[in-house]
Structure 1
Amino acid sequence: MKVKRFVAANMQLALRKVSQELGADAVIMSSKKVDDGFEVVAALDYQTGESTENPEVERQLELQRELEAAKASRQQGSQEREQRLDYARQSDVSSSAGLKDVLQGLKDKRYSDDRAPQAGLESGDDAVDQAGREAHYNNVIHAMSGELRELKNWMVSHQGSAWDTSRPLTWQQSQLWQRCQDVGLEPAWADRIASQISDEQSVEQAWQQALKLIARDLPVAAPELFERGGRYALVGPTGAGKTTTIGKLAAQFVIHHGADSVALITLDNYRVAAHDQIGTFSRLLGVELHKVGNEKDLKAALLKTQNKKLVLIDSAGLASQDPHFQTQLSMLKRTGAGLKKLLVLPLTSQGRCLQENYEHFKAAGLVGCVFTKLDECFSLGPAMSVAALTKLPVTLVTDGPHIPDDVHYPDAAKLVQLAEQMARMARTRWQAADAMHLATQSRFQQGA
C-alpha cells in the first residue's frame, strides 16, 4: 500500500492533486483543515477493512512530513541567500561605504545572535571567550568581504572589458571606463587607463588619478615650437582651418621677427579662387607668397626661401578619392626631411572622421597635429584619442577666427580638464532636457 499526504489551499485543489498523482484508484483515508489550507491523506492499493492506524501508514506519513520539512528549510535558506544578494545589489554597494554597511550589518547580526544565549554569564573566562569570538567573526567578515567584492565585480562586469574580454574589469575600473567614455576617449585608450588603477581608493580619488594618466598619455610638442622657426606644411581635410592657422602663425611671427623673416607657399591649385585667402594674408602682412603646382616648383620655392626663418606651406584639402590627392601627398613626402608635416584636426568632426583623416595623411610623414575650432566643439576626447593612440604630438590649438590672437600652445593638463568640463556640461544638459521632457509629458497627460 502506498500512502501520501496532500496539502492545498482548498479541498478541490487537494483532491485534484490526489487524482493527478495517485490516479482514479486512490482511496481517501482522512481529511482535515490545517494552517496551510486542507490536508488529505490518500492511499493506493488500499484493502477494504484495513485499519487506518496501520503502523506502516503512520511511518510513511511521518517520512513524508520530514521530507517536506527538509524541503521547506532548503527553500527558506535559498530565499534568505537571494534576499542577501538583493540587499547587496540594491544597497549602495557601488561605493566602498555601501559595502562596509552591508558587512557591518551582517557582523552585528551574527554577533548579537551568538551573544544572546551568553547574556547571563559573568566576566572572567567569558571575556576570553568573547575575545575569541571577536577574532573568529573578524576572520569570517574578512572572508565575506572578499566574496562580496568578487560578487559585485562579477555582477557589474562579468563579460570583461569591451576590448579585452579575457580580463574582466573590477567594478571600480568599469566606473572609470564609463567616465572615460563620457569624456569621449576611444574604448582602447579608456581600457588602458582604467586597467592601471587599483581599487584601494575611492572612485573620485581613482578618477583624479585617471585624469593624470590621461594627461600623461597625451603627447604635446615643446612650448614655443614655432618661435624657433622652421619649415612646416599643414595638411588635412577641406574646411579644417589650415589656411586660417597659417595666417595666425605668420602674423605672430611677423610681429616678433618682421615680415622679411616669413614666406608662404600654397599648393592649392585645384579650387576656384583658392589663392584669395592666403593672398590676402600675404598682402596684409607684407610677406612673400609662392604658388606652386608640381614637385619641381615646390623644390624651387623652398630653395628661394631658404633664407627665411619661418616657411609655411598651405596644402589643398582634397578628398582621399580625388586623383590629385596621392599626387600632392607624394610631393610632400619626397620634399625632404627639412619639411615637417602637421595634420590639422578640426575638433568639430566625429571621432571616426578624425581617425580616417589620420589614416589618409599619415603616408606624408606626419610629425605632429594641430587642434582647430576649439570654440565650436563639444567634446575633446576624440581628437585627444587620435593624438594619444598614434603618438602624434599636439603642436597648436586654435579657438576662434581672430588673427593673430586665437592660437595657443597646448597644455596637456588643461586640455584634459577642459575635456572633463565639457563632459559634465553635456551630462547636465541631457539631464535638464530629460527632466523638461518628463514635465511636459506629465502636463500633457493631466490635460488629457
Structure 2
Amino acid sequence: MKMRRFQGSNTREVLGQIRQTLGPDAVILSNRNLAEGVEIVAAIDFDEAELTASSLAWPQVLEKNEEPAGGKGEAEMKAEPIRQELQALRALVEKRWGRQQGANSEEEPRLDQQGIKNLGFHSTLLPQLESATLEFGARDGMARVLEAQIGSLADPLGDTGIIAVLGPTGAGKTTSVAKLAAQQVLRYGPESVALFTSDTYRIAGVEQLNIYAKILGVPVEVLRGPQDLLSALQKHQQRRWIFIDTMGLSPRDERLNEQLQWLDALGESLRRFLLLPASLAEQSLDQVLQPYAKFSLTAAILSKVDEAPACGAVLEWLAAKKLPLAYLSDGQKVPEDIHALDWKCLLDAMGLHTPALAAVADSRYHEA
C-alpha cells in the first residue's frame, strides 16, 4: 500500500491534491484539523486487509503517537468511531468525484444538484431528480423520474397507421421519416410503405424525400393542400404504413397553422409525432413549440441527441405537457440512427455511464 499525507488550507484544496497526485482510486484513511488548515492521509494500491489494519492503527498514531494503555481491545473500541468517520469521508470524496464506491462495486454513482443542472434541468423536475439520484444512483434514479413524469410508448407505430412527423425547422423531419420508413421496409417489404410530403417550401425538400423513396423502392406523394392528402390516402389505402413529412416554418407563419389544421381533420386515424431537437434552449421552447402544443399529439421523437447531450430543458417541457417520448435519433444514418426509447440509453448519451460521469463530476469539482 502506498500512503501519503497531504496538507492544505481547506478540505477541498487537499482533496484536489490527492486527486492530482494519487488519482481517482485513492482512499481516505484519516483526517485532522491543523492550526493552519487540514491534514488528510490517503492511500492507493491497497487490499482490504491493509485498509482494515490502517484504519485500526492509524488513529492511535495520530492522536497520541503511542500505544493505548488499555491494550488491543481498547484500541479497537477507540478505532470504531474513527472507522465510521473515515467511511463517511470516503463516501463524500467518491460522491464529489462521481465514481463508484470501491473499484469493483456495481453501485451507481450519485449526482449533486449542480450536476443535474449541468444536464439542462432547471425547474419542475429538479427536486425529484435530486432526491431520486441520491436514493437510487444517477442513471437509475433519473430513469425512474423521467419514466414517471414523461412516459414512453411500448409500440409507437403499431401494426399499421398514418404517421405524421411534425416539428420546427431544422429538427430533422425528412431524415426521421426516412429512418422510420426504412425500418418498416426492411421488415415488411417496400409494398408496405408510402411516403407523403407537404414540405414544398423548402429548397430541395421534395427532392430529398424522392431520393430516399427511390432507394427504398416506395412511392412519394406531394401534398399542397387537404384535397391532395385525401386523394393520396385513397390511392394508397392498401399500404400498411404511410409516413408524412411536414414542412417546418416559423411559429408565426400562417401556412404552418393551415397545415396543422388539415392534418388535424384526419382525427384519430393520424398519429402525430413531434420531433424535438435535443439542442432546443429553455428560453425558446415555448415560443418555438407553441403551435404544436395545442395540437393533439401522440408522442415525441428526440433528435440530435448526439449533438446536444444536455437536453434536460426539452425533457422538462415534455413532462410539463405530459407528452410521452417514443424514439431517440442520434445521427444521419438511415435507418440505423433511430431507436425506440430506452431511458438508460438516453442517460448514457447524456454522459451518465460511469466513466463519463466521473469525468463530468471531476470537471465540476475543479471548477468549484
Task: Give the TM-score taking structure 1 as reference length.
Answer: 0.52
**Alignment partner, residue 189 of structure 1:** 125
Q: CA-to-partner distance for each residue in 1:374-415, whole Å, 9 max, x for gaps? A: 121131312221222211111111111111111111112332
**Alignment partner, residue 7 of structure 2:** none
**Alignment partner, residue 164 of structure 2:** 233
More helix by share: 1
Matches within 5 A, 1:21-36: none
Identify which of 331, 335, 351 aligns with 2:266: 335
**Alignment partner, residue 317 of structure 1:** 248
CA distance in 2: counterparts of 1:414 and 1:309, whole angstroms = 30
Q: Report the alpha carbon displacement of residue 249 of structure 1 after superposing the two structures with TM.
A: 1.1
Contact 1:215 1:416 in 2 (8 A): no
Which of 1 and 2 has higher RCO (CA within 8 Å, sep 6+)? 2
Q: Report the alpha carbon displacement of residue 180 of structure 1 after superposing the two structures with TM.
A: 2.9
**Alignment partner, residue 274 of structure 1:** 205
Q: Which amino acid aligns with 1:187?
A: S
Contact 1:332 1:364 in 2 (8 A): no
**Alignment partner, residue 47 of structure 2:** none
Matches within 5 A, 1:134-145: none
| C-alpha distance 274-265 of structure 1, shift in aligned 2 (>3 A) | same
- Of stretches 383-392 and 211-220 in structure 1, the one that deviates more from structure 2 is 211-220
| C-alpha distance 192-338 of structure 1, shift in aligned 2 (>3 A) | same
SS in structure 1 at match of 2:239: coil
**Alignment partner, residue 238 of structure 2:** 307
- Of stretches 182-191 and 214-223 in structure 1, the one that deviates more from structure 2 is 214-223
Q: Report the alpha carbon displacement of residue 222 of structure 1 after superposing the two structures with TM.
A: 3.1
Q: Report the alpha carbon displacement of residue 261 of structure 1 after superposing the two structures with TM.
A: 0.5
Contact 1:268 1:315 in 2 (8 A): yes
CA distance in 2: counterparts of 1:399 and 1:318, whole angstroms = 23
CA distance in 2: counterparts of 1:402 and 1:297, whole angstroms = 30
Matches within 5 A, 1:40-439: 176-194=112-130, 204-205=134-135, 207-208=137-138, 210-226=141-157, 228-419=159-350, 421=352, 425-426=359-360, 428-429=362-363
Q: CA-to-partner distance for each residue in 1:283-340, whole Å, 9 max, x for gaps? A: 1111111101111211221222221111100000100122312111211222221001
Q: Number of residue pairs matched? A: 259
**Alignment partner, residue 438 of structure 1:** none
Structure 2 unaligned regions, length at least 5:
1-9, 13-31, 33-110
**Alignment partner, residue 133 of structure 1:** none
Q: CA-to-partner distance for each residue in 1:346-400, whole Å, 9 max, x for gaps? A: 1122233334333221233111100111121131312221222211111111111
RMSD of aligned alpha carbons: 3.0
CA distance in 2: counterparts of 1:262 and 1:227, whole angstroms = 14
Structure 1 unaligned regions, length at least 5:
1-89, 93-100, 102-174, 198-202, 436-448
Contact 1:262 1:311 in 2 (8 A): yes
Task: Give the TM-score taking structure 2 as reference length.
Answer: 0.63
Contact 1:220 1:410 in 2 (8 A): no
- Of stretches 376-385 and 420-429 in structure 1, the one that deviates more from structure 2 is 420-429
Q: CA-to-partner distance for each residue in 1:1-39, whole Å, 9 max, x for gaps? A: xxxxxxxxxxxxxxxxxxxxxxxxxxxxxxxxxxxxxxx
SS in structure 2 at match of 1:296: helix
Matches within 5 A, 1:6-17: none
Q: Report the alpha carbon displacement of residue 426 of structure 1 after superposing the two structures with TM.
A: 4.7
SS in structure 1 at match of 2:298: strand
Contact 1:220 1:412 in 2 (8 A): no
Q: Equivalent pairs: percent with the same residue?
A: 27
| C-alpha distance 217-353 of structure 1, shift in aligned 2 (>3 A) | farther
